[in-house]
A and B are shown apart, each in its own frame.
Chain A
């Protein structure tokens, strides 16, 4: 068996062939491609039809097909000073459904990946509590558990696009997000175990890595739906996602989801630490800044077609798909346009609709081969409608860095190639 694939799917395949089909498809009737002759992939015996493949002991932890080797997290090296306090991006254009595979969930670290033996991890609760406590992982596994599907979106997702169209790919414009099933203990149970005192109003989760990440979170949120999670998509958290344990803060900016969680302090005031003063504050046009912008507003993006996923099949039946999410509820509706917003269509929502989770939408249409301007517009369960980038700039200016949930435009040309653009 050869290790190297003979053929890698190309993003530009069959463009020449597509041009031939244009005339027929433009009449609006489906025309099945007439084979020039018998297909050797059918008429000739292929190696996989004849020779034996790997046995069941060859792949104890399975990996994707060799033909999917291009489906990986990527980074943008010029974004940060080094790769240790940095971010990479989920390949949204290669995914479908709503669950992000663990190995493709984007990473954001401030001091690299802490590698912690689970037997040597401790979680402390201290501050305004009756009993300051220390838990081992074994202790945490003995509390009642919950399973919930939540998106985690970095506050800076799409932040490079505030001043215009900059990065040419949905992975880079929108890939600081993942959506997985968490198994964990409600934070409320741990706080109740320690006995929260009457004047408590805030908590301060802290990470065990070398950045010792801290954020102030209102006690109300902590007692509502935060989880202390040790599993994602059924298996242990990946080291880059906080193994052995992380905080889950549903609907709120990813920075607050403290990884390698080692301590929770209970207090009566916020701490105003670096990640909620210098960072994760949103500078507005007149020089003042919003602080504590926790919730991630309703947002959507078309993942296919997109710059990294052009239309390669030519005119005719075309599947447009994308994802939508809101930190304030579910997404009952997504509108899409293929003409830059002159006419909008309600997309088809498909798959489970969970609170504060990613949703999947589709819009199937017959492409006539002419240029397209694609946009999607999410509606969340509170009635909020995803704004345009211009609407956001009117309120905030262009320097707030975080919380860019503006509508994304992809321009598709006659060859099916897509580009990140803005329209007026």
Chain B
């Protein structure tokens, strides 16, 4: 039992903290000593990652695209990748290390993560193919989109617009429908099918009853 509080729980041992505390921050806090180059990363990526993310991070099917998309953020169809969108390289290191490969998380060594991150930088046109990433040069890397994020400003930009007594009567001259979901027809069909089935069963039951 410790001083103060409820005296519940026990002291976490250094080995236990080391096993679970794997998070990395933009200032490099948490980064382990290690290194990896683009070529090593490419081999690892093709083996472990490309089945979902494509050989060059271009993505397979619906899986996330990791490279490209530069200059699309203002377009109607923004492509948000590590290169075009992510503000910090530390996030790439942290996330690959903690959660990838999907279905085999935390199976990569520190050097393998450095190499894969180096390859991801390469396919995002951030470095040449002879680049080696390490804990020593990590903080020299700036991501292209870092400055395009800002703190939630809804209090200043929206809340004044969306307060006050709204109109209750004679609020508009006329109303017209401008968009319909049924035109797209992308809603799961089970419901409609079930309803049709039930209606058919009912009709059959009604017919049976009428015949009695």
Contacts and interface: CB of A to CB of B under 8 A. Distances in A.
Interface of A: 6-13, 70, 74-78, 80-81, 85, 110-111, 124-127, 131-135, 139, 142-143, 164-169, 172, 189, 192-193, 195, 204, 206, 210-212, 214, 262-263, 265, 267, 269, 271-274, 277-278, 281, 283, 285-295, 297, 307-308, 335, 339-345, 373, 377, 382-387, 391, 395, 398-399, 411, 419-424
Contacts of B2: 131
A124 B25 contact: no
A172 to B, nearest CB: 6
Interface string B142-170: 00000011111110011101111011111
A236 B98 CA distance: 28
A292 B152 CA distance: 6
A423 B90 CA distance: 45
Given A265-B23, A344-B167, A424-B178, A289 B148 contact: yes
B207 interface: no
Contacts of B201: 7-8
Interface stretch (B33-41, B80-88, B111-119): B80-88
Given A131-B11, A272-B25, A168 B181 contact: yes
B91 interface: yes
A382 B148 CA distance: 30
6 contacts: A111-B105, A204-B23, A273-B95, A278-B91, A291-B150, A343-B169
A421 B171 CA distance: 19
A406 to B, nearest CB: 11
Given A343-B169, A385-B162, 20 more contacts: A10-B198, A10-B202, A11-B199, A76-B188, A111-B102, A111-B103, A189-B6, A212-B22, A265-B23, A274-B91, A287-B148, A289-B150, A344-B168, A377-B166, A383-B163, A385-B164, A395-B157, A395-B158, A421-B177, A422-B178
Contact of A126 (B12, B26, B91, B164): B12
Contacts of A214: 23, 98
Given A297-B154, A422-B178, A7 B202 contact: yes
A189 B8 CA distance: 11
Nearest to B7: A193
A344 B9 contact: no
Interface stretch (B13-21, B42-50, B122-130, B132-140): B13-21
Nearest to A209: B105
A390 to B, nearest CB: 10
A395 B21 CA distance: 39
Contacts of A189: 5-6
Given A271-B23, A277-B88, A278-B80, A291 B6 contact: no
B194 interface: yes
Nearest to B82: A278
Nearest to B163: A383
A211 B99 contact: yes
Nearest to A123: B9
Q: Which of A124, A373, A398 has the most CB of B within 10 A?
A: A124
A169 B184 CA distance: 13
A277 B86 CA distance: 6
B11 A133 contact: yes
A143 B9 CA distance: 10
Given A142-B6, A344-B166, A344-B171, A291 B152 contact: yes
B23 A143 contact: no
Interface in B60-84: 61-64, 73-74, 76, 78, 80, 82
B200 to A, nearest CB: 9
A3 to B, nearest CB: 16
Contact of B182 (A168, A271, A273): A168
Which 10 pairs of residues, A with B, have the shortest CB-CB distance? A340-B175, A81-B62, A420-B181, A287-B73, A422-B179, A287-B74, A132-B12, A274-B95, A133-B9, A165-B181
A1 B88 CA distance: 63
B6 A193 contact: yes
A166 B182 CA distance: 8
B186 to A, nearest CB: 6
